[in-house]
Amino acid sequence: MDKQLSYKWDKVYQSDASSPGEPVAVLSGNLFLLPQKGTALDLASGLGANALILAKQGLTTQAWDISAIALGRLQQQADAHALPINTFTREITPDSFASCCFDVVVVSRFLDRSICNAIMESLKPNGLLFYQTYTQDKTSGLGPKNPRFLLAENELLQLFSPLKRVYYRENSGLGMIQQGLRNEAQFIGQKRLVNSLSK
């Protein structure tokens, strides 16, 4: 594990006394798409707002993050409310994922292009990916500055092209920029029954 990165994020969460906050909008606005039972992953979960709402919807949920402090706080919340959440402290790489083990994967405000194929492989047939993160096309200074962590136009559609597109939104600078989704793209994709990743 990258100890420097782990220390950085532990320090962030140690000094941040806030609650987990709100789940990402692409998930909270589309809860009706979730299966009634199954397994879910909140990837790079932080304090686990996504994991909490997934578990409240009846999904047995894993939360992965590099910060043991963030996950410790999440596990306390899960235990206090008897929610089916298991936390795993790990640096996320392509080797972190097993094949066909999740009905739902949620990724919010985290971008590592090297793991996109592994994320898709980890979905069960008909599984859903909910993804929302920052774009290069900004209307404010919100989000990271490093282009490594910023999406190009329509990039989520390209990165996850083997999935069936269920939903996509990227408003950029259109219209009244003080309103609506800005600085981020949202994507929901479904893994097809026939594995198209190998085609």
Write down all domains in the chain, each with its CATH number in brackets: 3-198 (3.40.50.150)
Distance from C-alpha of 195 to C-alpha of 199, rounded to nearest angstrom: 8
| pLDDT, tens digit only, all 199 positions of the chain | 677 777 677 777 777 666 778 999 999 999 999 999 999 999 999 999 999 999 999 999 999 999 999 999 999 999 999 999 999 999 999 999 999 999 999 999 999 999 999 999 999 999 999 999 999 876 566 766 788 888 898 999 999 999 999 999 987 656 556 665 658 999 999 998 764 454 4
pLDDT at 196: 47
Distance CA 184, CA 188 (A): 14
| Contact between residue 171 and residue 180 where contact means Cβ atoms under 8 Å apart | yes
| pLDDT computed for residue 11 by the predictor | 78
Give the predicted TM-score (pTM) of the model. 0.88
Work out whether strand 39-43 and strand 60-65 pair parallel, antiparallel, or are unpaired. parallel
pLDDT recorded at residue 38: 98
Model pLDDT, residue 131: 98
Q: At what angle do helices 3-15 and 68-80 cross, to 10 degrees?
A: 50
How much is the pLDDT for 14? 79
The rounded distance, in Å, linking the Cα atoms of 79 and 84 is 8
